[in-house]
Amino acid sequence: MSKPPSSRGAGARERLQHWLPKLVLSPSFVLVLFFVYGFILWTSYISFSDSGMLPDYTWAGTRQWSRLWSSWTWGIALHNIWVFGLLYIVSCTLLGLLLAILLDQRIRAEGTLRTIYLYPMALSFIVTGTAWQWFLNPGLGLERTMHSLGWESFSFNWLIDANMAIYTVVIAAVWQATGFIMAMFLAGLRGIDGEMIKAAQIDGAPTWKIYLRIVIPQLRPVFLSAIVVLAHLAIKSFDLIVAMTGGGPGNATAVPATFMYSYAFSRNEMGIAAASAVFMLAVIAALIIPYLYSELREPRS
């Protein structure tokens, strides 16, 4: 399709038309090559170098990597992202599916409810973090409110409890993202072929059974997309933790993203920061590339 017709000979205009599409695409492509792939290579190299405060291109083998893996904080960060990611993905998926199914019952105020479930997605994580930090503030927030409403024994101090603080971040993150996942499932539900369902209904199958046996299995692609989107969001989560707990108390809510940031910009340990970033990229790539490959390989109509 892109070849110019040869019969009329290659006039200057036609040659231009032939090159124009590539010319138009090339600035973006060059930007991406340099700022994405060039930078990935650079950071990867730095992770094998002696870099501290400034880049130092002396090859240092795996020194930075072994320093990373022997770091106590990195261990906490990995543990946290695992706990956070798992709870976040599972809660958002189940809650999003539940809300979508409930909303899919010809609800009268569906539009309004959808807007309400979805609006947190429009907020910055910093706003969300600020709001929830205040909401869960042990001195003045929910706890104090419950006391003033007469529930004297109510206690909720997870935000300042090193063992529980990560769960407050999960709560806020789930609050923020569930609506989006709900919307994905809702779109999936609307796209399901109704014939099998009608047949099952005629057979007198109960509604829950129809959902479990017919509807949910057909939503498999949506599950896959939702989990990929959520896992990717979880690994990148940085803002919410900074705003809610600042990684604290102590290092209790450190995650790889906050770890990388603090080693890069406060501790001036460029090499370790680069190694942690490469690790994050590797995990996401292992997740995303097979997904993208399968999505793009499908024949398009």
Interface of this chain with another protein, residues 280 to 299, rule: CB under 8 A: 280-281, 284-285, 288-289, 292, 295-296, 298
For the CB of residue 199, give the shortest distance to another protein in the complex, in Å: 12
In the chain the beta strands, taken as DSSP E runs, fall at none
Kindly indicate which of the ranges 71-79, 84-92, 126-134, 161-169 contains the residues binding another protein, using the contact rule CB under 8 A: 126-134
Touching another protein, residues 135-164 (CB under 8 A): 135, 140-142, 144-145, 147-149
**DSSP assignment letter at 301:** -
Kindly identify the residues of this chain, within the stretch 159-188, that bind another protein according to CB under 8 A.
175, 179, 183-184, 186-187
Does residue 119 interact with another protein by CB under 8 A?
A: yes
Task: Kindly tell me the burial class for residue 290, based on how many C-beta atoms sit within 10 Å of its own C-beta (0-12, 13-18, 19 or more).
Answer: exposed
Indicate the SS3 state at residue 49.
strand
Q: Does 199 bind another protein (CB under 8 A)?
A: no
**Per CB under 8 A, which of residues 239..268 are in contact with another protein?**
239, 242-243, 246, 256-257, 260-261, 264-265
* Contact pick of 50, 56, 104, 161 for another protein (by CB under 8 A): 104
State which H helix or E strand residue 280 sits in. helix 270-297
Token duo for residue 25 = 């695409």
Q: Which of 132, 177, 181, 251 binds another protein (CB under 8 A)?
A: 132
Burial of residue 9 (number of CB atoms within 10 Å: 0-12, 13-18, 19+)? exposed
- Identify which of 43, 34, 38, 39 has the alpha carbon closest to the alpha carbon of residue 263: 43
